[in-house]
A and B are shown apart, each in its own frame.
Chain A
């Protein structure tokens, strides 16, 4: 599992001024984004994916109900991706599974965003001992061997019978993954804040009497938005893989609810004889992640063409 880690920023390297909040801002971003061929293709692919997944309920087949007369059929016009061991149409299952996988992914991004930005903003802005403590906590969280702890936590949470945590709950899994992935955001946001807080306009704002909160929310955060958005897209891809991996090991989404990960894990039993069961879910994961990565790359170029903050949360 490859995580992306930040580097120490090279402070004061360039002389680009703050991005202003004028109306041309967003259209400029878009213009730069649209000149990036990979990003445009990625956007198209991802949109198609999301649409397909949402329209999955239009399928004449059920994702869950069995049809034992049509078991393990190879792809045909009848079943474009073949059928699984209970005769369920694989394409339908993949589309429904996509909902779960993408939902988990989005939720993870939201969770890590909240926790990470909170940590990073406070640490980067406040500095001093607050920064020290928060960063030590982040470091400690980073020392957790993530996959190992993921396995452990999900086997605990799987069994909890609490009103909100139904078993097999997408939220539970997203929380588990999110709890172990917010650290990248924290470091990234902190580094950005460390840089941005030295900017002249911040000093000016403070001099004019703006409160800390206002400075953070109105002046610093909007300028840090670039790397945050970029990292979010990467985090989405990472979360999808994590969920797939977890389900693959048997700890994530449980049957009969499909998810891309547990579709792969089902395939493991007889994938050599029925390879389509393994090929198609993997292709879906691949398409989702590569398109999201290209979008992230395009966004990075769009937000930060002169690479002020790009040192932060590199690559």
Chain B
């Protein structure tokens, strides 16, 4: 396939493009979904196609095709060139690429796992979901609905460009989730959920805390606990956020602002702020395509979709803004090192600046010390999503929480909404626990630029924050 891609590059250059990139995805996606006793979905998808980017005078044009024939790939290169050429006169800000040395991949760029999902049959994965649901039922109460999910994504990613790069590696994501809905005596519905994914072999789902019994049992137990939970009070309180919510905060509110496509246009409030203190010394945020997955979990991205090798970038170091996240064009424009953050959700989309694994750096507190430091306030746990505006204001939904008084957990809270401005919030980070966990997966992901869902990792330790606005009951 690399030969077909090389022909696309040559053809684009012949048409007049100053730089051409071509990539090929041949991915298999498998989804298993069971609701209560019914198998809603057992599906396999084959996602195979080619994307070509042509650069003309610092303007990119993109096209794609599901057909890997030389004829259709050349047609895609022609379309990409035509789009770039037609757009070039309108550009006021150009992001040209300077040719550099070529990149080559090796076999070790593909993360090895013990049990690759392609080595187990469908019945094995069906059993994982069945066991999850049974465990949820065993530990739950007043259950109205149980949903069990398993997903896997794996396959080949090949890339070349005008520099003669030759990159070939295998992508892998596996994931298992459980959602439980229970009904309170008053008729209100409450939820409990659990699950995790990342670049794992199936041996992960046999490890402590991650077995179907652990995942289903936790989801059932949490839904049961929610039957007696109270609404969160509205107002400003001290907060302790768990690893998963910290990850959403790192990704949604700070990570997106650090993406250099927002910086070169001036849209990000982090524009021109390299070297500025934005947070307390306890606040550090990294993005890494190559985390130590055995220790922390996460997603393995050894190359981005412009062929840049994955790396670890300290975006915020001890409260100081140190680096942005880049594609090649923005890195060159801002004279920073490329960070391996140019990613596309599939061959249908051009790569744009995206995060890989984004997480807060751990501190030195134990969980007990973190609760003591919180003193009185809200302990917010897990997240069902969040949103951020270009000015740094954010809103996140924690799935559940606890009201804490004088360092002691008092009672469970229902869904908790946290809001504020990330740049203000970073100045209120008071401490972090020693643990670090990165959550990634097949289900959900980043939705930037309508390219959804792109698997990303997000995480951190538990973090104590001085003051957060909570939406709730007056």
Does B associate with A? no
